[in-house]
Amino acid sequence: MIMTIFYRLGDKLYVNITNRCSCDCVFCIRKIGDSVGDADSLWLEHEPTIGEIKEAFGKVDLTGISEIVFCGYGEPLERADDVIRVGEFLKSETDLPLRLNTNGLVELIQPEFDVTRLNIFDSISISLNAGNAANYQALTRPKFGEVSFETMLNFAKKAKSFADIAFSVVEVDGFNLGECREIADKTEIPLRVRTYGM
């Protein structure tokens, strides 16, 4: 089985290093297919080692790529320390900007992790997905319970001090765009609205 560690979607190169996630979102793209972009499948036979990731990157054609994004079929920060190591490696190999897509729950996933280490990223996209804890729990179904919503918001406030950040939301039933815009406006964090399946 050939694992897809790097895949391309448009002019972005995506990094897929884990299938683990602390959430079980009702709208997760994993529920409707095995891959996105030019990948055959984003399900991993095993979590690739740092060496395997570096080797795979050596075979990537960066022609036309404008950004490298940590986002695959899992929450990248389930492997927070490895994300830092891979990010530092990529920074040493290319001048392309790095972006992290995350659910913002790393402080629950790995409480000892220092989030300021994520300053290697040029930008961070954080899944907001709801305007209050109850709706967040219903839509994203985090394994940590209702504390997850405030943890995600606190993470966003911290990340704002060292990276360009944005919230993202997915338009699905039970989603209240108005409440999400209020949070984005209050925190002065841009909001990106995605269509389900995109």
Report the alpha-carbon distance of residue 176 to residue 184 in Å, rounded.
Answer: 13
Q: Would you say residue 197 has pLDDT above 60?
A: no
pLDDT digits (tens, 9 = 90+) for 149-195: 999 999 999 999 999 999 999 887 767 889 999 999 999 999 999 77
Which of 51 and 3 is assigned the larger pLDDT?
Answer: 51
pLDDT attached to residue 166: 97
Q: What is the mean pLDDT of the chain?
A: 93
Neighbours of 135 (CB within 10 A): 17
Polymer length of the chain: 198
Evaluate whether 139 touches 27 at the Cβ level (below 8 Å): yes
Alpha helix segments (H runs only) across 24-146: 50-57, 80-93, 106-109, 133-140
Instruction: Please list the alpha-helical segments (H only) found in 94-196.
Output: 106-109, 133-140, 147-159, 177-187
Residue 80 confidence (pLDDT): 98
Q: If you compute the radius of gyration of the chain from its CA atoms, what whole number of angstroms results? A: 16
For residue 189, the one-letter residue type is I
- What pLDDT is stored for residue 198 in this prediction? 45
Is the distance from CB of 186 to CB of 141 less than 8 angstroms?
no
Task: Give percent of the chain with pLDDT exceeding 90.
Answer: 82
Predicted TM-score (pTM) of the model is: 0.93
pLDDT value of position 40:
79
DSSP codes, 32-45: T-S--TT-S----S
Which of 60-64, 98-102, 140-144, 167-171 is the least confident region? 167-171
